[in-house]
Amino acid sequence: MTKSPHGSTSGHRPAKLGREDNKETVEHTHEIVAALCRILNEYKSNSKENSGKERVKGLRETIAIIIAICLAVISIFQWKAAHEANSISYSTMIATTRPWIVGEFNVISLSKSEQGVNIGMEIKLKNIGHSPAQHVSVSPKIIPARFEFGIKTQREVCADSLKSWDRIKSIDNVIFPDSSQLTNNFGVVSMDEIIASQNFTIAKKMMNNHPPTEAELADNKKFSPFFVVGCISYDFDGSPDVHQTGFVLSLTDIPERPGGVVGSTLIDVSQNREIPVSNLYLVQNLFGSFAN
């Protein structure tokens, strides 16, 4: 069983002034300094030609201009600070009032047939946020691959969900705060996919000058790891964006493992049979876990 954490993410990260804003402020400051220098140089030049009342009058005008420019500089920085504070306040408000959807995944069936490996999952979707999540959908994909392919495939699955959002949101599935929803999902991995993954593993060892032994070749054809990757997608009132919770789950006989990459248990795919699932779990990897 696994639960996809949401942690600190870009979805509620306080807005900060970007490089363009800082660059613009620096440019304005340089322009102001240059203007001050020109005024002072002009005053020095004029002061040599003028005396008495004219000099005093020129000095007063110069001081007034300098004060006006300083007030303008202060106003610019105050506006920048107020703009940043408003952005942070808005981001904080959204983060503390929006929904957050997480998932718990359990294996309920596993079998090997001529077509491939069939995996059945029970998925519990829960809203741990503070407002209703709308158009909630989950897109899991089972892959018979090593961990690095799990991350790549997950990105593709999540991107496909975003591309298909107009179709997905036609199903009005709402989960309210502190509420959960159970759904079952059944996926199949074809033997062609499994064999392709096994062949890639052998080829990779050959390329790294580590040719497999006969025993390793036999095991490679007999066993395969499995990952479940994908996203939970949803939206909510007050935000124009589609939000996602990503997961990369290892099918393993280890119930929990703190952090890092969780290795997947090798499943015997050499015989057609029902495979017991009482000691199998879907455990979330640290890598690939995200929420926005």
Task: Tell me: do 177 and 84 sit in the same domain.
Answer: no
Mean of pLDDT values over 98-119:
93
pTM of the model: 0.65
Both 221 and 280 in one domain: the answer is yes
Contact 173, 136 (CB under 8 A): yes
Q: Are 118 and 125 in contact (CB under 8 A)?
A: no
Q: Is the per-residue pLDDT at 94 higher than 80?
A: no
Residue 4 belongs to a domain: no
Mean pLDDT of 8-18: 39
Give the chain's end-to-end CA distance (angstroms, integer): 22
Confidence label for 17 from pLDDT (cuts 50, 70 and 90): very low
The per-residue pLDDT for 286 is 75
Could you tell me if 63 and 136 lie in one domain? no
- Please give the DSSP secondary-structure letter assigned to residue 12: G
Counting Cβ atoms within 10 Å, is residue 238 exposed (0-12), middle (13-18) or buried (19+)?
exposed
Residue 161 belongs to some domain of the structure: yes
Pair (178, 70) in one structural domain? no
Beta bridge partners of 110: 119
Q: Are 283 and 257 in contact (CB under 8 A)?
A: yes
Can you spell out the DSSP letters for 89-147? HHHHHHHHHS--EEEEEEEEEEEE-SSEEEEEEEEEEEE-SSS-BEEEEEEEEEE-S-H
> Above 70 in pLDDT, residue 124?
yes
3 is a domain residue: no
Dihedral angle computed from the Cα positions of residues 91, 92, 96 and 100, in that order, rounded to the nearest 10 degrees: 40
Residue 6 included in any domain: no
From 50, 76, 96, the end of a domain falls on: 96
Does residue 53 surpass a pLDDT of 80?
A: no
- Average pLDDT of the residues of the chain: 78
Domain end marker among 45, 73, 96: 96
Q: Work out the pLDDT band at 118, boundaries 50, 70, 90.
A: very high
Question: Does residue 246 belong to any structural domain of this protein?
Answer: yes
- Alpha-helical segments (H) within the chain: 19-49, 53-97, 147-163, 165-168, 191-207, 214-222
pLDDT beyond 90 at 210:
no
Q: Do 50 and 143 fall within a single domain?
A: no
Of the candidate ranges 10-14, 115-119, 151-155, 284-288, the one whose mean pLDDT is the lowest: 10-14
* Angle (CA) 168 137 283, round 5°: 145
How many structural domains comprise the chain? 2
What pLDDT does residue 19 have? 47
Q: Which residue has the higher pLDDT, 127 or 250?
A: 127
| 2 SS3 class | strand
Give the pLDDT of residue 69.
79
Identify whether residues 117 and 251 lie together within a single domain.
Answer: yes
Q: What is the predicted pLDDT for the residue at 34?
A: 67
Backbone angles phi, psi at 149, to 5 degrees: -75, -20
Chosen domain end from 96, 125, 146: 96
Does 2 map to a domain? no
Out of 60-74, 80-94, 168-182, which region has the weakest mean confidence (pLDDT)?
80-94
pLDDT at 43: 57
| Domain-embedded: residue 23 | yes
pLDDT band at residue 214 under the 50/70/90 scheme: confident
Structure confidence by residue, pLDDT tens digits, 216-227: 777 677 888 898
Whether 149 and 273 map to the same domain: the answer is yes
- Per-residue model confidence as pLDDT tens digits over 225-283: 898 999 999 999 888 899 999 999 988 887 665 555 566 788 888 889 999 998 899 98
When pLDDT is cut at 50, 70 and 90, the band that residue 50 belongs to is low
Q: Are residues 88 and 163 in the same domain?
A: no
Report DSSP state, residue 272: -
**Residue span of the structural domain in which 239 resides:** 99-291
In this structure, the answer to whether residues 66 and 18 fall within a common structural domain is yes
| Cα separation, 105 vs 187, whole angstroms | 13
Is residue 281 a contact partner of residue 227, using CB atoms and an 8 Å limit? no
pLDDT of residue 90: 56
Of all helices (H) and strands (E), which one includes residue 243? strand 243-252
Is 80 in the same domain as 111?
no
More confident residue, 4 or 175: 175
**Residue 53 included in any domain:** yes
Planar angle of CA 158, 113, 228, nearest 5 degrees: 20
Q: Are residues 187 and 54 in the same domain?
A: no
151 and 24 in a common domain:
no
Residue found under tokens 């990952």:
227
